[in-house]
Chain A
Amino acid sequence: MTELTRLTAAALAAALRAGEVSSVEATRAHLDRMAEVDGAYHAFLRDNAADALAAAAVVDAARMRGEDLSPLAGVPIAVKDNIVTRGLETTAGSRILAGWIPPYDATLVTKLRAAGMPILGKTNLDEFAMGSSTEHSAYGPTRNPWDVTRIPGGSGGGSAAAVASLQAPLAVGSDTGGSIRQPAAVTGTVGVKPTYGGVSRYGLIALASSLDQIGPVARNVEDAAILHEVIGGHDPRDSTSLPDAVAPFADAARHGDVRGMRVGVVLELGGEGYQDGVRASFEAALDLLRDAGAEVVEVSCPSFDFALAAYYLILPAEASSNLARFDGMRYGLRVEPKDGPVTAERVMAATRGAGFGDEVKRRIILGTHALSAGYYDAYYGSAQKVRTLIQRDFTAAFAAADVLVSPTAPTTAFRFGEKIDDPLAMYLNDVATIPANLAGIPGMSLPSGVSGDGLPVGFQILAPAHEDIRLYRVGGVLERALEARWGGPLLDVHGVNGAAE
């Protein structure tokens, strides 16, 4: 039954509807695949096998009774471990939450359960989603299925690797500066960051609240679209949740047309600092969009040169505030000071000293510094002004183009250890994904091919806020053209999971 793990989510859903396979069989196939291969990849921090199989049996029984089911009923899914799951340990990749069993479900998880989607397990991430490689996970890194000596991207490397290695047909991630899109790029998968507020964040362990967004992780554009329809929509429990109705994303992915669309190439997100193989793959994909009838134009967004700097002030500032809740009092780790009086404040400091990893400490210290008296205006205040300038650049660019495009990341997957001792070099890997978070606009990464090093390259599409549907329209067209050229999906053609044999 291992062929079940090769099916797209859409194909699996169709087979389930047709009664050709049960959800229990499909869920078991993915759990078996996990047992077989995850020792090599470490995409999952823990499985949820018993609960997933029980949920699958419930869906199968409902289907037998002829009940009206959701489009993805019975299709299993993996969930990033910074999204809380009632009764299932949730750590956000941190020691400070080791063993924590949440007493509630995130709205996203409630929606997945209501849709009859068995949750296979919780995926690995950089601690509290701070990183671009999963090397900052307190539980060890996830390895890239294309090359286990290389990073799977971050922070959502676990979700991307789980989908790429056929352990799950779908996953969810969170994107604060690229944590869905950059892992998609380096693993040859598809990741979507919806418009800010498009998917409820109730129950997402907050990193930077003005930037965080939950979104779909999949092996193709259509699957991401179907999942987006299931998880999107207004949630009264999230005050930043948009009132927008969910648009017909899947239909756009299947039947989109780019004839007459203006596709804007962002001059500042390319060129110097981008690997030759990344640029070549990007250019070739642009040609396919031209062939499909799109008009390719160039746009300039000069303030993007300051996006990384603004991001690394706003994110640490907000994170330093959000992570204040981890104080050893109400949940998670509590550590008493080695000597001296055991007061609450000293316990907090000892707990946070022992419970947080290097990158989390680095960002909390930076953020606290940036917010402290005497520095606030120059740092945080200036960063917020840059945010305005970036939004203005996007507004001008979207007047000249219907979507904007760029490589998702400047490089293909780098090797473990390559950037771990140089925080700035690590941060630079997010240079192309960060502007979307600062402006709240939606973005998608889909594979555009492989570079000369044999590793996948990500193609990023950006759309104006509330226009997520354009990502699926353009992404669907580009994916169909690429797969026609490759002779099938990239992961299959390149035999990442042995399919080429």
Chain B
Amino acid sequence: MSTISRHEVVRVAALARIELTEAEIDRLAGELAVIAAAVARVSEVATPDVPATSHPIPMWNVMRDDVPVEPLPVDEILAAAPEAFEGRFAVPQILGEDA
């Protein structure tokens, strides 16, 4: 199992859409290397014959009755948005710079 390098922090931060300062990258690389080494212990006992558990109390096909209810208040939702325009969320340009 690999450790977490500075390069890996930069790669993962881009995947996670988090802008980091140079100082943060340095610090995180050091801290995460220690944490990753500690948590890597799980592979010691995770043998192929052990099934994985994703959910503590198994449930299947949870359904509920299809009952019409009042939708959430659009004005309150948009009032809490960073920016709104004509009853919708307003967002920055979503296509790349080359478009």
Contacts and interface: CB of A to CB of B under 8 A. Distances in A.
Interface of A: 86, 100-104, 195-197, 210-211, 236-237, 239-240, 242, 303, 306, 308-310, 312-313, 320, 324, 327-334, 336-337, 341-350, 352-354, 356, 358, 361-362, 364-366, 368-370, 372, 375, 378-379, 381-389, 391, 423-424, 437-441, 465
Contact of B34 (A303, A324, A364, A424): A424
Nearest to B29: A365
Contacts of B64: 236-237, 239
B76 interface: yes
Contact of A348 (B17, B35, B77): B17
Contact of B92 (A342, A365, A381): A342
Contacts of A375: 1-2
B20 A353 contact: yes
Contacts of B94: 343-344
A382 B42 CA distance: 6
B82 interface: yes
A491 to B, nearest CB: 33
A147 to B, nearest CB: 28
A438 B56 contact: yes
Nearest to B49: A385
Contacts of A349: 14, 17-19
B21 to A, nearest CB: 8
A353 to B, nearest CB: 3
A86 B51 CA distance: 42
A440 B65 CA distance: 26
18 contacts: A101-B79, A102-B80, A196-B56, A239-B59, A310-B39, A330-B81, A343-B92, A346-B92, A353-B21, A354-B19, A362-B31, A365-B32, A366-B4, A369-B12, A382-B46, A385-B47, A440-B57, A441-B56
* Secondary structure dominating the interface of B: loop
Question: Which of A330, A370, A423 has the largest number of chain B CB atoms within 10 A?
Answer: A330
A239 B32 contact: no
Instruction: Name the prevailing secondary structure of the A interface residues.
Output: helix
Given A329-B89, A341-B93, A343-B92, 17 more contacts: A100-B80, A103-B72, A196-B56, A309-B38, A331-B77, A337-B19, A344-B94, A362-B28, A365-B18, A365-B32, A368-B16, A382-B42, A382-B46, A383-B46, A391-B56, A424-B35, A438-B56
Nearest to B95: A343
Contacts of A347: 92
A369 B29 CA distance: 12
A211 B91 CA distance: 33
Contact of A391 (B53, B73, B79): B53
Nearest to A361: B18
Interface in B82-97: 82-83, 89, 91-97
A101 B78 CA distance: 10
Given A362-B32, A369-B8, A334 B82 contact: yes
A344 B95 CA distance: 8
Nearest to A465: B57
B13 to A, nearest CB: 6
Nearest to A86: B76
B45 A386 contact: yes
Contacts of B51: 385, 388
B97 A312 contact: no
B52 A381 contact: yes
A431 to B, nearest CB: 12
A385 B52 contact: yes
Contacts of B76: 86, 101, 103
B57 A366 contact: no
Contacts of A240: 55, 57, 59, 62
B50 A388 contact: yes
Contacts of A103: 72-73, 76-77, 80
A412 to B, nearest CB: 24
A361 to B, nearest CB: 6
A312 B39 contact: yes
A423 B9 contact: no
Given A306-B42, A356-B18, A331 B34 contact: no
A440 B45 CA distance: 21
